[in-house]
Chains A and B, each alone.
Chain A
Amino acid sequence: MNAQNWLTRATGEFPEGVTRRVSAETLAHLQDTGLPQDADVSVVLGSPDDTARELRQLYLSRREWAGLQPGSSYRALITFAKWGVWAVAVLLCIEALNEISVLYTMALVVYLLGLAWTHRLPYVRRWNLRMGAMLATMCVFRWLPDLWKDAGLSPDYLWVITPVLLVSMTAYLWTENGRLRRTLTLEGEPA
């Protein structure tokens, strides 16, 4: 497999900035090895599929990146989410006042601190995190307890599942936020 074929397989699915940086570094590397042109570079570089898999953990794919651009359905979703994010804050506030609940008050404080912290972030990262926080809050405080109740399950288990769910969702959001930040950097946009 020559260098061009290797690079196409390793970086073909990524946005332009990511492809450019990885290609430049890999071609410089191959130049330093002194391999003849059209030599089988996989002897030195290994499988391009392995590299693509590792890059996938670091960067968004070309399709994911295109899905975030102005005019995409995701951007339209953000327009609605702008209302939803504040509606969830109001909902938490009402619940905290209704039940005089420490749990809801804490959730409200954490949620509002999260909104304040994301304020300084670039547009897409800001709304990505805010929508994630909104969905996580609804899931933990509304959808999951309702589902649990409807299914007639013991509320004891809810205390175990809720933190696990919350930690998993936060970890997922954080990972995706990292991929987005790195991709924005290589695409030359504010990250």
Chain B
Amino acid sequence: MHTGAMKTREQLRMLILAVLERQPEHGYAIAQAIKARSEGLLTAREGSLYPALHALEAEGLVESEEHDVGGRVRREYRLTEKGKGVLAKARKEWEKQVRAVGAVIGGQS
């Protein structure tokens, strides 16, 4: 994934968790959801997606299972309880940062 707004691995991890909060998805659907929700602002370098998913799975934040989708095998990832906790914490932190940056660049004195 890469844009001026999303450069770090940590941001990609949080976006993946946020997408999986709604429902379990496979890799391609996760990439598409990020693109769609950001209105195309966050475009994908999708080769980074699977290492990030594997790392999240190793940390117990997501779990995966293979499914047959219309005769094609797809690995579906779902958020775990631990993942939900980490996402909630990251969301709070993000909102704090947005408020702080907004207060500075919003022109308030």
Q: Do A and B come from one complex?
A: yes
* A positions within 8 Å CB-CB of B: 6, 10, 21-22, 24-26, 28-29, 31-33, 44-48, 50-51, 54-55, 57-58, 178, 181-182
Chain B: interface secondary structure?
Answer: helix
The contact of B27 among A29, A48, A58, by CB within 8 Å, is A29
Chain A: interface secondary structure?
Answer: helix
Report whether B46 and A54 are in contact in the complex, using a CB–CB cutoff of 8 Å: no
Report whether B72 and A51 are in contact in the complex, using a CB–CB cutoff of 8 Å: no
Q: Shortest CB–CB separation between residue A40 and chain B, in angstroms?
A: 13
* B positions within 8 Å CB-CB of A: 2, 9, 26-29, 31, 44-52, 54-55, 58, 72-75
Report whether B47 and A47 are in contact in the complex, using a CB–CB cutoff of 8 Å: yes
Report whether A178 and B75 are in contact in the complex, using a CB–CB cutoff of 8 Å: no
A24 to B55 Cα, complex, angstroms: 17
The contact of A178 among B45, B46, B58, by CB within 8 Å, is B58
Contacts of A29 in B (CB 8 A): 27-28, 31, 46, 49-50
The contact of B46 among A46, A55, A57, A182, by CB within 8 Å, is A46
Residue from A25, A47, A178, A181 with most neighbouring chain B CB atoms (10 Å): A25
Q: Shortest CB–CB separation between residue A13 and chain B, in angstroms?
A: 14
Report whether B51 and A182 are in contact in the complex, using a CB–CB cutoff of 8 Å: no
A33 to B31 Cα, complex, angstroms: 11
Residue from B9, B47, B50 with most neighbouring chain A CB atoms (10 Å): B47
Report whether A24 and B46 are in contact in the complex, using a CB–CB cutoff of 8 Å: no
Report whether B27 and A28 are in contact in the complex, using a CB–CB cutoff of 8 Å: yes
Chain B residue, CB-CB nearest to A54: B51
A26 to B54 Cα, complex, angstroms: 13
Chain A residue, CB-CB nearest to B57: A182
Answer whether A45 and B73 are a contact pair too, CB < 8 Å, given A29-B28, A32-B28. no
A47 to B27 Cα, complex, angstroms: 18
Report whether B28 and A28 are in contact in the complex, using a CB–CB cutoff of 8 Å: yes
Report whether B75 and A28 are in contact in the complex, using a CB–CB cutoff of 8 Å: yes
Report whether A25 and B51 are in contact in the complex, using a CB–CB cutoff of 8 Å: no
Contacts of A50 in B (CB 8 A): 45, 47-48
Q: Shortest CB–CB separation between residue A9 and chain B, in angstroms?
A: 10
A32 to B29 Cα, complex, angstroms: 9
Report whether A58 and B44 are in contact in the complex, using a CB–CB cutoff of 8 Å: no
Report whether B58 and A25 are in contact in the complex, using a CB–CB cutoff of 8 Å: no
Report whether A28 and B48 are in contact in the complex, using a CB–CB cutoff of 8 Å: no
Contacts of A46 in B (CB 8 A): 2, 45-48
Q: Shortest CB–CB separation between residue A178 and chain B, in angstroms?
A: 7
